[in-house]
């Protein structure tokens, strides 16, 4: 309620924010020591949301889909994302040829079928396949396994200080596939908070603006490198990102 009031006062559209009197807004408390996050405590409820609220969310999306250039599903495993919502979003995006990206949680991993791209970190990717990513060979094995099982167009695995790996299927009907390694851009790492969100958001915006997936992944990598070099939840402005891209490419 307080958040909605503040956003309304700042003249933001809050039509896409849904309230549930039985669920508090998640509050995250981070303990920082010597500019490094040590532990985080979350106060929240993570059970599945009600069927009525799922319907309310889907109805809102239906009314606004005509204005959408791309879709991001950022699944925190907090009970909002379920099979019904995923099925509607993915099928509608594929039908309308809208780019859809997923920042996943292990809980629903194999429900993200036929998305445009999915952006797990190396721990998540290895966990769902049952194989730890420890070298190039296991990375390649896990990456192609996931892409095949998800029937996705692409897969971007983030590898921390080792950068990213972009796995891509060719056009429909083609057997051509490609793997692109993208080196890390972070000059220093203080706090990884928000790195995954930065990757999927920057990647999707870049694709929606006309970048190829490889170009978008490189830009996302630069943005994430800037975020982890700051303490706390950080953002990269458009002006700063433009400057970084020109400096590093």
The residues that are catalytic are 197
At a CB cut-off of 8 Å and minimum separation 6, what does 126 contact? 132, 133, 138, 142
18-27 as b/e: b if 16+ CB within 10 A: eeeeebeeee
Q: CA–CA separation, 205 vs 210, rounded Å?
A: 9
The dihedral built from the CA positions of residue 28, 31, 34 and 36, taken in this order, carries a sign that is negative
Q: SS3 for 94? A: helix
The count of C-alpha atoms lying within 13 angstroms of the C-alpha of 192, restricted to the half-sphere facing its C-beta, is 10
What secondary structure does DSSP assign to 161-192, as a single string?
A: GG-EEEEEE-STT---EEEEEE----S--S--
């Amino acid at each position: 309620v307080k958040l909605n009031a503040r956003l309304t006062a700042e003249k933001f559209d809050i039509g896409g924010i849904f309230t549930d009197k039985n669920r508090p807004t998640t509050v995250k408390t981070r303990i920082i020591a010597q500019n490094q996050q040590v532990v985080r405590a979350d106060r929240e409820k993570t059970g599945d949301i009600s069927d009525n609220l799922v319907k309310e969310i889907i109805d809102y999306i239906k009314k606004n889909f005509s204005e959408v250039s791309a879709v991001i599903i950022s699944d925190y495993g907090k009970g909002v994302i379920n099979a019904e919502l995923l099925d509607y979003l993915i099928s509608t995006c594929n039908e309308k040829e809208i780019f859809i990206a997923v920042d996943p949680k292990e809980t629903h991993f194999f429900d993200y079928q036929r998305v445009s791209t999915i952006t797990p970190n190396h721990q998540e990717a290895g966990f769902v396949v049952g194989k730890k990513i420890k070298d190039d060979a296991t990375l390649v094995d896990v990456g192609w396994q996931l892409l095949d099982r998800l029937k996705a167009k692409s897969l971007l695995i983030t590898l921390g200080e080792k950068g990213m790996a972009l796995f891509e299927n060719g056009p429909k009907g083609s057997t051509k596939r490609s793997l692109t390694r993208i080196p890390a851009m972070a000059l220093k790492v203080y706090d990884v908070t928000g790195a995954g969100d930065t990757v999927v958001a920057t990647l999707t915006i870049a694709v929606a603006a006309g970048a190829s997936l490889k170009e978008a992944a490189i830009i996302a990598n630069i943005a994430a490198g800037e975020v982890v070099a700051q303490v706390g939840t950080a953002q990269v402005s458009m002006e700063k990102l433009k400057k970084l891209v020109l400096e590093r490419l």
